[in-house]
């Protein structure tokens, strides 16, 4: 079956697209979906074969673990070892939005996201199509919808230009508003550390946590 782009700006296209994407995810397939930052390729976070397919489609190894997107604030509590005050403060300030959090994962979760070393990278995207799909199927392993080494796309057409028929279902939610990958903040250790600067600035994070932005950038602690 040839790949299809569903126009989720059209009400019927959105209904059909969400339905098709949900069926694909439950069947262990990958889908392309819009987020507020860039387009993502996603799969069932709890299906190791689907996650392996996602990595193969991106031509990326397990040494770079796949982030997990969630559809609500409350979902995070079942995925982390402890929902700390710092995590709660950041979630309330920046979710849904462009901040990804590295946190200690809950023990015995049935997933294999790569070499996570006991942590998981979580985010709630600020995009209604993504949220609707996530609430339909649950947490999804989602990475930027690009071949490793190429630029992350900001449209469904840009994603299909890279993946072609390797992905059957593309959800078109319009051009990504941010166009920049999320900021990654590691809060799994004693002090928060920015691993990648992106959509949310160190200054904004520093204001929320009452920390010097330069302190957040230091990785040698």
For every residue of 92-161, which 3-state class applies, written as one string? HHHCCCCEEEEEEECCCCCCCCCCCCCEEEEECCCCHHHHHHHHHHCCEEEEECCCCCCCCCCCHHHHHH
pLDDT at 85 over 70: yes
64, pLDDT greater than 80: no
* 107-117 residue pLDDT tens: 878 788 776 78
Sheet containing strand 169-172, strands side by side: 4-7, 169-172, 31-33, 40-44, 140-144, 68-69, 119-123, 99-104, 183-186, 193-196
What superfamily does domain 4-179 belong to in CATH?
DHBP synthase (3.90.870.10)
pLDDT at 111: 83
Distance, CA of 104 to CA of 188 (rounded, Å): 6
Lowest average pLDDT, out of 11-20, 51-60, 104-113, 117-126, goes to 104-113
**Predicted local distance difference test score (pLDDT) of residue 220:** 53
Could you tell me the residue ranges of all domains in the chain? 4-179
pLDDT at 110: 75
Average pLDDT over the chain reads: 93
Strand runs labelled E in 2-113? 4-7, 31-33, 40-44, 68-69, 99-104
Residues in the chain: 221
β-pair partners for 68: 122, 141
State residue 208's pLDDT score: 98
Find, among 158, 205, 202, the residue nearest to 40 by Cα.
158
Q: Which residue has the tokens 């969630």?
A: 70
Of residues 218 and 38, which shows the higher confidence score? Answer: 38
Q: What is the pLDDT of residue 107?
A: 85
Measuring CA to CA, which residue among 138, 152, 148 is closest to residue 45?
138
For 49, the enclosing helix (H) or strand (E) is helix 48-58
Phi then psi for 152, rounded to 5 degrees? -65, 135
pLDDT tens, 155-188? 999 999 999 999 999 999 999 988 788 999 999 9
Residue, of 64 and 66, whose pLDDT is higher: 66
Cα 140 from Cα 169, distance rounded (Å): 15
Instruction: Output the pLDDT for position 221.
Output: 47
pLDDT attached to residue 116: 72
């Amino acid at each position: 079956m040839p790949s299809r782009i569903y126009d989720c700006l059209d009400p019927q296209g959105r209904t059909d697209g969400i339905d098709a994407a949900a069926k694909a995810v439950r069947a262990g397939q990958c889908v392309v979906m819009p987020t507020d930052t860039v387009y993502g390729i996603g799969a069932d976070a709890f299906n190791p074969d689907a996650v392996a397919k996602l990595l193969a489609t991106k031509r990326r190894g397990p040494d770079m673990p796949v982030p997990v997107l969630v559809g609500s604030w409350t979902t995070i509590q079942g995925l982390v070892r402890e929902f700390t005050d710092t995590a709660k403060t950041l979630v309330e300030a920046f979710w849904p939005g462009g901040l990804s959090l590295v946190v200690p994962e809950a023990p015995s979760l049935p997933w294999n996201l790569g070499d996570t070393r006991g942590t998981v990278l979580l985010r709630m995207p600020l995009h209604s199509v993504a949220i609707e799909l996530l609430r339909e199927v649950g947490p999804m392993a989602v990475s930027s919808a690009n071949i490793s080494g190429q630029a992350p796309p900001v449209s469904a057409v840009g994603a299909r230009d890279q993946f072609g028929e390797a992905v059957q279902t593309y959800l078109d939610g319009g051009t990504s508003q941010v166009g920049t990958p999320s900021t990654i903040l590691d809060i799994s250790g004693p002090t928060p550390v920015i691993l990648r600067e992106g959509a949310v600035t160190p200054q904004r994070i520093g204001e929320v946590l009452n920390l010097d932005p330069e302190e957040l950038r230091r990785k040698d602690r």
